Amino acid sequence: MSHNHKKCIKTSLEFAHKVSQDKAMRLTPQRLQVLKILLDDHKALGAYEILERLRDMNLASQTTPQPPTVYRALDFLLEMGLVHKVESQNSYYACMIERSADGVHIAQAFICESCGAVEEKTAEASVKKLYEKAATFGFEVNQVIMECRGFCANCQKQNEFFYE
Amino acid sequence: MSHNHKKCIKTSLEFAHKVSQDKAMRLTPQRLQVLKILLDDHKALGAYEILERLRDMNLASQTTPQPPTVYRALDFLLEMGLVHKVESQNSYYACMIERSADGVHIAQAFICESCGAVEEKTAEASVKKLYEKAATFGFEVNQVIMECRGFCANCQKQNEFFYE
DNA sequence: ATTGGTATGTTATAATATAACAAAAAGAGG
DNA sequence: CCTCTTTTTGTTATATTATAACATACCAAT
Ligand SMILES: [Zn+2]
Ligand SMILES: [Zn+2]
Ligand SMILES: [Zn+2]
Ligand SMILES: [Zn+2]
């Protein structure tokens, strides 16, 4: 997945500010810091990895960030739809799809088990089928979790020799 | 979800024995005990809930089961496709769909957030769409996780007054 | 019987997440 | 600006989920 990641970050941050304003929610410096850590690249990080980076970034400060700090920031960012959780590995990544006004949406994550990269895609088709299935037995859907684990195109190339 | 649960358990156990034989894997008493605990009803249990029940069942024995005992049994049952994990709540439930020879399959779990019941369905349509999406960017799928959280038909009925 | 693989028992600890409460900061209204 | 209320942050402790490591027991095949 090669792209202009600087621009990618810029767009995401602009959207984050916008959606926070719209919802009258406060994207405080701490929350922003966590978001930036996750935007750093397209990988999912565990809460304690985020904590480490947060500490690295705040060596000058008098206080050392603690776990609740990270989890609170994540709660906020998840709520705003700016970050998603990879349930199958208890890790978190910054949303990377173009969104309309509202930040909240169903994410479909493709997680590479070799390099750890996460590709997020919209999932209208699969989700539609899933809703149809739910309807067949009267299930009312609140939340959909779709995760796909495997190998990204890059890692397949790099490991071609395995298949010879 | 009303059905003949006695028969439901019987069928599942028979299948478990069969698939273990076929794969030359050993469905030992401990593993069987954990499976039976999960078959008890169509809910997902956490590993430590399973542990408690296991302890209750083995009060007579000299030894008290420990966490690794549960996790090892779960690893086995997951591997055999006899049990699935609900990634979004770190819990486990016994597979409840009719399966062909091989026990391993993609499960689609509908989890009621009110009563905790899990309905498992086959998900061919959604999964097909998901594979198609993966193909568009060369992603090689190893594992698919599909979980749907919401309210089952029963709980909707019982809470109708909420919507008045 | 010996051996090599598999399963279990046991202890300790790692990794993930939250409770609870105090202090500080921010926003709303006068 | 001052006060009140709500939200956010700091801090300590602890709950919850999962695995490492190593010893022992079991089982099956030579
Ligand atoms: Zn990018
Ligand atoms: Zn997203
Ligand atoms: Zn049943
Ligand atoms: Zn199943």
3-state secondary structure chain B: CCCCHHHHHHHHHHHHHHHHHHCCCCCCHHHHHHHHHHHCCCECECHHHHHHHHHHHCCCCCCCCCHHHHHHHHHHHHHCCCEEEECCCCEEEECCCCCCCCCCCCCEEEEECCCCEEEEECCHHHHHHHHHHHHHCCCEEEEEEEEEEEECHHHHHHCHHHHC
Q: pLDDT of A15-43, one tens digit each?
A: 999 999 999 999 999 999 999 999 999 99
pLDDT at position A106 is 85
- Distance separating the N- and C-terminal Cα atoms of chain B: 25
Percent pLDDT > 90 in chain A is: 83
Q: Does the pLDDT value for residue A61 go beyond 80?
A: yes
pTM for this predicted structure: 0.93
CA B18, CA B71: separation in Å to the nearest integer?
22
CB proximity A29–strand D (7 Å threshold): yes
pLDDT of residue A161: 61
Q: Average of pLDDT values for B37-42? A: 97
- Facing residue for B156 by CB, picked from A129, A138, A145: A138
Phi, psi of B63 (to 5 degrees): -105, 150
Q: How much distance in Å is there from the Cα of B10 to the middle of ligand 3?
A: 10
Least confident window among A141-145, B82-86, B102-106:
B102-106
In tens, the pLDDT along B1-19 reads 678 999 999 999 999 999 9
φ/ψ of residue A81, rounded to 5: 75, 15
Q: What is the pLDDT of residues A153-163, one digit of tens each?
A: 999 988 766 55
> By the CB < 8 Å criterion, does A121 face chain B?
yes
Q: How confident is the model at residue B103 (pLDDT cuts 50, 70, 90)?
A: low
Q: Any idea which residue has 């009267």 for tokens?
A: A138
User: ∠ CA B61-B63-B65 to the nearest 5 degrees?
Assistant: 105
To which residue do tokens 């499960």 refer? B107
DSSP E strand boundaries for A14-69:
none
Q: What is the distance in angstroms measured between the alpha-carbon CA of A46 and the sugar C1' of C14? A: 14
The residue type found at B15 is: F
pLDDT number for residue A98? 80
Are B145 and A150 an interchain contact pair (Cβ–Cβ within 8 Å)?
no
Which of B133, B152, B157, B163 has the highest number of chain A CBs within 10 A, making it the mutation to test binding with A? B133
Chain B contacts of A138, Cβ < 8 Å? 152-153, 156
All domains in chain B, ordered by first residue: 5-163 (1.10.10.10)
More confident residue, B46 or A1: B46
pLDDT at position B160: 65
